Each structure stands twice: as structure tokens, then as C-alpha cells.
Amino acid sequence: MTTDTTIKDDAPGSAAPGETVLDARGVTMRFGGLTAVRNVNLTVNSGEIVGLIGPNGAGKTTFFNCLTGLYIPTEGEVRYKGNVLPPKSFKVTAAGIARTFQNIRLFANMTVLENVLVGRHTRTKEGLWSALLRGPGFHKAEAASRERAMELLEFVGLASKAEHLARNLPYGEQRKLEIARALASEPGLLLLDEPTAGMNPQETRATEELVFAIRDKGIAVLVIEHDMRFIFNLCDRVAVLVQGEKLVEGDSATVQGDERVIAAYLGEPFEDSPGDEEIAEVEAAEAKADTTTDAAPGKENDR
């Protein structure tokens, strides 16, 4: 977990602190009649870690896909450093937004190093002719790519496994490799989709350290996660998405204390919910019932 790797000055990752990196305005995504994401605004500033939480099916991943060009938002626009994002996912990556996937999508039959080298694709230019003719430029670029890739592997702690097949890595290291591969495209913004899913507490902590280290390199991070402790430890700001709409946004304390968030996660009383009177009535009835049903203990457990 060495953090001494330095970003090159001309890299797209180096943005002035406080500058808005990502600016999503009124993003709406409809699939036929279903509105998965409705009018969501979100900004991410450079040097910031922003969390995106919400119950299952809240539209987090859909929103992510809108940000990365996999989906084109039905309404609204996404700007990266002031420029509207192109509608193709490879152009988005070239612009400077890299992502990982919720279900790991490594190139399983390539080696760890090759995976990272694929991530370098947008930052290298060597085409077919250069590969066929093998001029000095080709060898130089290959060597530089390899060096950079090894640096990144060093950064996530996988350097010793560079020649291993990606599929043979344990789960936690596959996650790390996915992050390294995303970093290889020298992004200004990294989108992590549930980076700790399926990890044990130690691995989660290690991931936390890794995300901090990435932030320290000047890369803004937007992270989806279900692990609340992870999110609230990590993020400067947390946005809560419920049923496609942004419910609340703020720092950890604000979000943690917000009743609506708790309601969204634990279920919210519906419209004609029982008032206090009814509740008291029910309680009274239950108290009465308890005495009568004493004869059949264990009935409670059967429910």
C-alpha cells in the first residue's frame, strides 16, 4: 500500500482542489414506462470522496451507468470538468471517468499485468502499423506502459502477482485489480460500484485505506456501497437515492440522523398508517391476549 506514486503533471487527474469535477444536472433515466432515476442532481468536487447509498433497486447502478456513458440519460446532462459527457462509454473513459463494476468484470484469462495494460489503452496511441513495424517508438511506449502498470500494481499491492491469471486471484485481490485497471486510464474521477461487496472486515478496511490513498493522489471518488460503516468512515459527502430520487445529501452526520433515510431503509409508515390511538388499542388487546395464550407457549415462535 505504498502511496508514493506520483501523478504526472499533465495527467487529467490533476485538478485544482475544490474545482467541480462531476456535475450531473437533472438526470432522468426511463426504461419504457419505468423511471429508474428521476431528476437527480449531484456534484463531485476534486479531492472529494462522495458516497451514494440507497436501498436495493433505488437506481444507484443505473445512475452510475448514466455517468459512464453505458446509458444515455433520457433527460438532463452530465458534465465532466465543464464538458458534457460523450454518449459512448469508451469516450467517457478517455475524457477521464473510470469505473469498476458491481459484479467483477476482469478479463479473466489475461494476466494481472495485461489487465492493467488494457486499462492504459486510452492513454497510449500505438496503432496497428506501429505494432507491425516495431519502430523504436513502439518499444518505448510499451516499456513506459509496462512501467506505469507495474507502478499501479505496486500501489494496490499486487506487484508480486503480475504474471498470474486474473481468474486465479482471490476475490479481494480481484477487486483491487479492477481498481488498478481503472486507475490505469489516469482518471480524474473514479466510480466504484460496491467495492467491498463480499469482503471480510479486514479486506474492507484495506479497501478503505486504498480509496483514501487514491483520493490523496488527487482523484475524486464516487462510491456506491451498502456497508454503512465503510461509507460513513470514508465519505466527505453522502447522497441517498430512494426510488430513483435523491432524498438527501450531506455529510455523514446529517445523513445518519435523517429520519427519512432510516425510514427508506427500514420501511416507512404508509399513508393511512395507524395513529397513536390505534396503537394503544392494539397494545392493550395484545396485553390481554398474552394472558390468555399463556397456555400455549411457543406459539409466538411459530409466526
Shortest reach from residue 121's CB to another protein, in Å = 5
Binding residue for another protein, selected from 9, 10, 163, 294, defined by CB under 8 A: 163
Binding residue for another protein, selected from 35, 89, 102, 256, defined by CB under 8 A: 89
Shortest reach from residue 200's CB to another protein, in Å = 22
β-strand pairing of 97-99 with 83-84: unpaired
Shortest reach from residue 91's CB to another protein, in Å = 8
Residues 175-204: x/- map of binding to another protein (CB under 8 A)?
Answer: ------xx--x-------------------
Shortest reach from residue 131's CB to another protein, in Å = 3
DSSP 166: G
11 lines the binding site for another protein (CB under 8 A): no
DSSP 111: B
168 lines the binding site for another protein (CB under 8 A): yes
117 lines the binding site for another protein (CB under 8 A): yes
159 lines the binding site for another protein (CB under 8 A): no
Shortest reach from residue 2's CB to another protein, in Å = 24
DSSP assignments along 245-301, one per residue: EEEEEE-HHHHHH-HHHHHHHH----TT---HHHHHHHHHHHHHHHHHGGGSTTHHH
Which residues, 6 or more positions from 119, have their beta carbon under 8 angstroms from its beta carbon?
98, 149, 180, 181, 182, 183, 184, 185
Neighbours of 136 (CB within 10 A): 7
| Closer residue to another protein in complex, CB, 36/106 | 106
C-alpha cell at 1: 500500500
70 lines the binding site for another protein (CB under 8 A): yes
The piece of 44-52, 55-63, 126-134, 229-237 that touches another protein (CB under 8 A) is 126-134
Shortest reach from residue 129's CB to another protein, in Å = 10
Backbone angles phi, psi at 240, to 5 degrees: -110, 125
Nearest to 185 by CA among 45, 91, 67: 91
148 lines the binding site for another protein (CB under 8 A): no
The piece of 133-141, 231-239, 246-254, 258-266 that touches another protein (CB under 8 A) is 133-141
Angle of CA points 212, 214, 216, to nearest 5°:
70
Which residues, 6 or more positions from 157, have their beta carbon under 8 angstroms from its beta carbon?
1, 176
β-strand pairing of 237-242 with 245-250: antiparallel
C-beta of residue 180 within 8 angstroms of C-beta of residue 116:
yes
The piece of 16-24, 162-170, 218-226, 245-253 that touches another protein (CB under 8 A) is 162-170
Binding site for another protein (CB under 8 A): 68, 70, 88-90, 93-94, 98-99, 101, 105-111, 114, 117-122, 124, 126-128, 130-132, 134, 138, 141-142, 145, 163-165, 167-168, 181-182, 185
